[in-house]
Structure 1
Amino acid sequence: MNPARLARPRSWPLRARLVAGFSVATLVVLVAAGAFVYWRVDFALDRALDTELAHGVSTLAPLVGDDGMARDRDAAEAVGLAWQVLDPAGTVLDRGGPAGTTPMLVSSGFGKHDVEARLSTGWASYRIRAVGLAHQRRLLVGVRRDREDEALRELMLQLVVAGLGTLLVTAFVGDRLARAALRPVERYRQQAAAIAAGAADLRLEVPVGRDDEVTRLGHTFNDMLAGLERALERERQFVAEASHELRTPLTLLTGRIQLARRRQRTVEEHERILGELAIDLDRLARLADQLLHVGADPAGGSRSDLAQVVTRVVEERRVADPAGAAGWEVELLAPTAPVGLADHEVERVLANLLDNAARHGAPPVRLVVDRPAAGWVRLAVSDAGPGMPPALLATATQRFTRAEEARSRTGAGLGLALVAGLTERAGGQLRLCQAGQHVLRPPGASDLPCDHGTGLTVTVLLPEAQVTD
């Protein structure tokens, strides 16, 4: 492995990071526990030594006479400790136990002193306590410390060995646990790679009866794959249906061109043919425009006034086609109706609803803009035509959906699909009402009344937009 990569733990594999983190945490706990145990044992041994020295001093001090000699030798030896009586010059006046003729303490101070460093392996490791006597003499009482030091060294060795063994065991166990925990993730990765390679019908194998982070991840991936598969299926269906719908006007164009080229024609005949081709091209352009906008997202953050757009579009239609707009009735029950759609998006919604009413319905066509409830704006377009078959009502907002009798008319079955897409993406609802039957997109409960006419009524319900100054 690259040494530079080893120096960066974030670049390690996940299992290595888990084991390393687990091992470091275990090491910290072991060091803290070992230090605590060592401190407690050391404290207990020190206290035992100090207690023994204090007992020796309290026993020997009264036995030393004015001449610096022990008055009761047997009682002094019974203490079992090394002791010396020194004069002010440091000369040994009397001694007992294992103490020799050389002063045990070179310095002239009082209190507790350790001869040789802690944990020393030498035989001259003592703890000495010096107290003052009469005539500036000193009493030195010493206890051997080599056994306590040996016990501490043995304890430290055992703690190190036990700690290393525990660290190795925990690292091994942590590695096994990390491997077992990541095994489903690796399996998911392999299955995802197979799916990416083309196995579209494959799903991740999620254990049944378990509910943990890994199984939830597997369920989420499966839901995502199912959603992607549905989206791809819709796109494939859309492409197939769009190709079918585009084939008809293209075939008509090709046929007209071939028919026109069979013989020599006059200028008037060419103009008539060009007019027919222009009509076919206009239909093809409208179909292509619908195909481009049927899946387009609305402009984020857009605002418009539904009442103003309806007024403007109706007036433009009346000027452009007075005969076709003669039977239109407009009721603006809300003078202002701000919605979260751009002007051109509202125009597209209204144009498709009016075109459907003109193409498949019958006058009068009634347009109503109102506020049925707080925070909502409604646009209802109804006509007096025969409506659509009840079986078609539930699928009317799907792309390229048309009744059999409507296939001979112009159109591609994309108008209501475009209206539904714009309405739903703006957070609204689209309702189709006819003869007491109601279809709501998206599906759900709605307690708002449906204002419908004798034919089909299409209601667009949009959230009221907040007007900013």
Structure 2
Amino acid sequence: MSISYKERIARRLTLVTALIVLVVFAIIYLVVDFTVIQSIDRELKLETDKHVGQIFLVNGEIRFVHKDEWLEQEHSQIQLNPIFIEIVDMQGVSMDRSPNLSENHLSFYPDRAKGDEAWTLKTGNREVRQMQIPLNHGGKQEGYMLVAKSFEDARQLLNNLRNILLILYPGILLSLFLAMRFLAGKSILPIQQIIQKTNLISQSNLNERIPVAEPNDEIAQLTRSINDLLARLEQSLIREKQFTSDASHELRTPLAVMRGTLEVLIRKPRTAEEYIEKVKMALASIDRMSEMIDQLLMLARVGKGKMSREEVDLVSFAQNFGQQVEKESGREVTFHTNFSKPFYTLVNEKSLQMILSNLIQNAIKYSAPSGKICLQVGVHEGAPFLEIIDEGRGIAQESLDKIFDPFYRESSDATFLVQGTGLGLTIVKKLALESDIQVEVDSEAGKGSTFRLVFSTEI
């Protein structure tokens, strides 16, 4: 059976408090017990010191000199909390005793005769506290004096205290549980309000937020965290809707071109050259859609798994990459660096190659055939970087913050004179984020662009 959080809090707090109360009650009982026993032992010691000088040898036997004092009322009536005294020889044989003992005798323990230790025991039907003192006469030990005092009142006091504590304990626990349950319910009331408000928020009203309660405590921090999560979800949903809309629009265009081309072909017979031309147009649209789908799949796969990092020599990597691009595209790609030896950094090589490939392709597409493209490796403020520099058309300042958005194309590209999917820089940004690479852009319309990759780790 599921137990509510309020119940769990109440039970845990009650359990902890129960242990604390149990310890406190035990300490109270032990302190009272110790105090009562110490008080009785002090009285026994005083009586011992008082009567030890009143004992003498009489006809070879140990006797009380003033035994008539023991016939007084305070030594003969139990209800007056009397003192019991008995004198024994070295073997424990009784020599004399106080009249209030009647026919009873105090217990003799030879092994306890050397100290002032007291103990509790039964004498007849009475419980007493007893002390045993050696008696010396003329430098010779003649016997022992056994001194005892009734422990009945003290035992009754301790039993009453124990019973009261045992009766109070379950009552205190029940009261604590009910109080803790009530306070736990009051404490989690703001959380219940947050739950109710959160349950009312759906995809249709993600713009709503949970009111932040005062003061600035953990509940307020939880509320702000949920509001931040809702804000991120809202932005993610907005981006998803925009991405879906843009993807639909971008795919609709080549499909419309293909449909128009095929409709034109079937209206009337065409020459072979016209068929070839229209088929090439359809194939170009198919290629564009295939490229876009590949880019979308690549974008979806980024970040799905943890990328391993290895040592990569930026100098040789960038130089080899530039030579490969120069060979495949026929464009001149120069390489510059101020390093005379290898410079290593930790990065995922495949991700870096994909980032450079997208940036180089953009540099080639957006610059004239005679325009220069340069790869440069260096260090700035202790951080290694790799730059891709072109002398192309550049990017307007108002577009610099948008070029990494999916399907974003500058207005000058609306005619699609420069073919592309609008996803290359989005992939670059996402891969760079996964690889802990910072992407910086410097560009001016008509003067070219510089994309700078700043690496956070060097070897």
Q: Please, which moves more after superposition, 25-34 or 163-172? A: 163-172
Q: Amino acid of the residue matched to residue 408 of structure 2?
A: T
Q: Structure 1 residue 218 and structure 2 residue 223: aligned?
A: yes
Tell me the equivalent position of 2:358. Answer: 352
The verdict on how the C-alpha distance between 1:90 and 1:302 changes in structure 2, with shifts beyond 3 A counting, is: closer
Q: Which runs of 5+ in 1 are unaligned?
A: 2-10, 438-453
Tell me the equivalent position of 2:377. Answer: 370
Matches of 2:375 and 2:262, distance apart in 1? 45
Q: What CA RMSD, in Å, does the superposition of the two structures yield over aligned residues?
A: 3.7
Which of residues 366, 369, 380 in structure 1 aligns to 2:388?
A: 380
Matches of 2:150 and 2:9, distance apart in 1? 49
Tell me the equivalent position of 1:461. Answer: 453
Q: Structure 1 residue 333 and structure 2 residue 332: aligned?
A: no
1:79-228 alignment to 2 at 5 Å? 80=75, 81-84=83-86, 95-100=97-102, 102-105=103-106, 114-116=120-122, 124-129=126-131, 140-195=146-201, 199-207=205-213, 209-228=214-233
- State the TM-score, normalized to the length of structure 2: 0.78
Q: Amino acid of the residue matched to residue 38 of structure 1?
A: Y
The verdict on how the C-alpha distance between 1:389 and 1:169 changes in structure 2, with shifts beyond 3 A counting, is: same
Q: Please, which moves more after superposition, 104-113 or 52-61? A: 104-113
**Equivalent pair of 1:83/1:141 in contact (CA under 8 Å):** yes
Q: Amino acid of the residue matched to residue 441 of structure 2?
A: L
The sequence identity of aligned pairs, in percent, is 21
What's the offset of the Cα at 1:256? 1.3
Q: Amino acid of the residue matched to residue 254 of structure 2?
A: P
Tell me the equivalent position of 2:422. Answer: 413
1:237-386 alignment to 2 at 5 Å? 237-265=242-270, 267-294=272-299, 296-297=301-302, 299-301=307-309, 304-308=312-316, 310-312=318-320, 314-322=322-330, 325=331, 328-333=332-337, 336=342, 338=344, 342=348, 344-362=350-368, 363-373=370-380, 374-383=382-391, 385=393
What's the offset of the Cα at 1:250? 1.0
What's the offset of the Cα at 1:225? 1.8
Matches of 1:379 and 1:188, distance apart in 2? 49
SS across alignment from 2:100:
coil
The verdict on how the C-alpha distance between 1:345 and 1:366 changes in structure 2, with shifts beyond 3 A counting, is: same
Which of residues 51, 58, 72 in structure 1 aligns to 2:66?
A: 72
Matches of 2:145 and 2:388, distance apart in 1? 114
Instruction: Give deviations 1:279-318, integer Å, cap 9, x for gaps.
Output: 2222222222233334542644256555555555554555
Matches of 1:316 and 1:12, distance apart in 2? 66
What's the offset of the Cα at 1:17? 3.4
1:426-441 alignment to 2 at 5 Å? 426-435=435-444
The verdict on how the C-alpha distance between 1:415 and 1:60 changes in structure 2, with shifts beyond 3 A counting, is: closer
Q: Amino acid of the residue matched to residue 453 of structure 2?
A: L
**Equivalent pair of 1:307/1:334 in contact (CA under 8 Å):** no
Tell me the equivalent position of 1:8. Answer: none
What's the offset of the Cα at 1:144? 1.9
What's the offset of the Cα at 1:89? 10
Instruction: Give deviations 1:191-223, integer Å, cap 9, x for gaps.
Output: 34444686533433330x322222212211221
Matches of 2:399 and 2:147, distance apart in 1? 111
Which of residues 19, 25, 31 in structure 1 aligns to 2:22?
A: 31
Matches of 2:48 and 2:353, distance apart in 1? 109
Matches of 1:164 and 1:85, distance apart in 2? 49
The verdict on how the C-alpha distance between 1:204 and 1:131 changes in structure 2, with shifts beyond 3 A counting, is: same
Matches of 1:465 and 1:145, distance apart in 2? 82
Instruction: Give deviations 1:158-196, integer Å, cap 9, x for gaps.
Output: 333444444333333322332222222333333344446
Structure showing the higher strand proportion among its residues: 2
The verdict on how the C-alpha distance between 1:261 and 1:164 changes in structure 2, with shifts beyond 3 A counting, is: same
Tell me the equivalent position of 1:45. Answer: 36
Q: Amino acid of the residue matched to residue 21 of structure 1?
A: R
What's the offset of the Cα at 1:426? 2.8
**Equivalent pair of 1:379/1:461 in contact (CA under 8 Å):** yes
Q: Structure 1 residue 398 and structure 2 residue 428: aligned?
A: no
Instruction: Give deviations 1:416-448, integer Å, cap 9, x for gaps.
Output: 33333333433333333344x9xxxxxxxxxxx
**Equivalent pair of 2:322/2:335 in contact (CA under 8 Å):** no
Matches of 2:355 and 2:45, distance apart in 1? 102
SS across alignment from 1:211:
coil
Tell me the equivalent position of 1:16. Answer: 7
Matches of 2:88 and 2:398, distance apart in 1? 121
* Paired positions, count: 430
Matches of 1:423 and 1:188, distance apart in 2? 37
**Equivalent pair of 2:311/2:347 in contact (CA under 8 Å):** yes
Matches of 2:248 and 2:134, distance apart in 1? 114
SS across alignment from 2:188:
helix
**Equivalent pair of 1:206/1:215 in contact (CA under 8 Å):** yes
Matches of 1:199 and 1:456, distance apart in 2? 44
The verdict on how the C-alpha distance between 1:139 and 1:398 changes in structure 2, with shifts beyond 3 A counting, is: closer
The verdict on how the C-alpha distance between 1:341 and 1:262 changes in structure 2, with shifts beyond 3 A counting, is: farther
**Equivalent pair of 1:426/1:462 in contact (CA under 8 Å):** no
Matches of 1:302 and 1:138, distance apart in 2? 92
Q: Amino acid of the residue matched to residue 143 of structure 1?
A: K
SS across alignment from 1:402:
coil
Q: Which runs of 5+ in 2 are unaligned?
A: 76-82
